[in-house]
Amino acid sequence: MKSASKWIRFVVGWAAALWIFFPIFWMLLTSLKSESQAYAAPPVVFFRPTLENFRAILEQSSYARYALNSVYVSCGATVFAMILSIPAAYAMAFRPGRRTKSLLVWIMSTKMMPPVSALVPIYLILGHFALLDSVASLIAVFAMSNLPIVLWLVYSYFCEVPHEILEAGRMDGMTPWQEIRYLLLQMSLPGLASTALLSIVLCWNEAFWSINLTSAKAGPLTVFIATFSNPEGFFLAKLSAASVLAIAPILVFGWIAQKQLVRGLTFGAVK
């Protein structure tokens, strides 16, 4: 009985996994084909793999620019959000006031405003100051839209640090900033690191603001991939290679940060 249920789990579980993963696998396979093989009917499954598409994409100067923008924007916005969050989360976790709980709820509720309601004003403001298509403004926008999630995650990690340790530090005459610097950052480093990782993943994959606010100069990879949607750009193998390059690093990060994903996106409702 026990082993029968184990077998069912094994067979059905793996079937579901392969079924769901198949499109990504097929994209990986297509990226290793020549263009003519990618269009072949019936589809080619066995072929001599080539790295030609990856070479073509990487040699294209624009790819490097988009990829670098993605790195700048995701890391910049994450650093910005972390710098804002850490002191605020410290104050809320260790020196809560009467209004702290309602402030936390308010922070979460800002996520209920759909980005499209802010699109027109943000677009006009940035256009007015000639800040459209700039990496700096995209960093600011991403940082603000991820701040609630980052702040909540950092807060929930700080809440797990025993108060006694911080009190011991306070007895020795530490200021709040020193407590953060020498005690908290050390003790909750794993939590903070994976929070940062989750924030990078969310920024890397964000497509609403990046498509609307940037184009050729400051556009990240989401915008680069979007340029393949016009008919002239219809090269299946090259599209696949570019896509594989765009998602590969984030798949690895995502695997490491999956626990924080659960905790961060549900605002701690599920741990």
Residues 147-176 that bind other proteins (CB under 8 A): 147-148, 151, 175-176
Query: Binding to other proteins (CB under 8 A): which residues in 121-150?
Result: 121-124, 144-145, 147-148
For residue 241, give both structure tokens.
Answer: 């290679």
Rounded to whole angstroms, the Cα distance separating 110 from 156 reads: 18
User: Which DSSP string corresponds to 55-82?
Assistant: HHHHHSHHHHHHHHHHHHHHHHHHHHHH
Residue 102 binds other proteins (CB under 8 A): no
Residue 47 binds other proteins (CB under 8 A): no
Residue 196 binds other proteins (CB under 8 A): no
Q: How far is the CB of 152 from other proteins (least distance, A)?
A: 11
Residue 258 binds other proteins (CB under 8 A): yes
Helix-then-strand count for the chain, H and E:
15, 0
Q: How far is the CB of 18 from other proteins (least distance, A)?
A: 7
Identified binder of other proteins from the candidate list 36, 46, 48, 97, rule CB under 8 A: 97
For residue 52, give both structure tokens.
Answer: 């030609």
For residue 159, give both structure tokens.
Answer: 């809440």
Task: Determine the 3-state secondary structure of 104 from DSSP.
Answer: helix
Residue 120 binds other proteins (CB under 8 A): yes
Rounded to whole angstroms, the Cα distance separating 218 from 223 reads: 9
Residue 56 binds other proteins (CB under 8 A): no
Rounded to whole angstroms, the Cα distance separating 103 from 107 reads: 6
Q: End-to-end alpha-carbon separation of the chain, Å? A: 32
Residue 76 binds other proteins (CB under 8 A): no
Name the residue nearer to other proteins (CB basis): 58 or 211.
211
CA nearest neighbour of 78 among 174, 196, 246, 164: 196
Rg (CA), the chain: 23
Query: Binding to other proteins (CB under 8 A): which residues in 207-236?
Result: 207-208, 211-212, 221-223, 225-226, 228-229, 234, 236
Identified binder of other proteins from the candidate list 41, 130, 164, 173, rule CB under 8 A: 41
How many residues lie near other proteins (CB under 8 A)?
A: 92
Q: How far is the CB of 17 from other proteins (least distance, A)?
A: 4
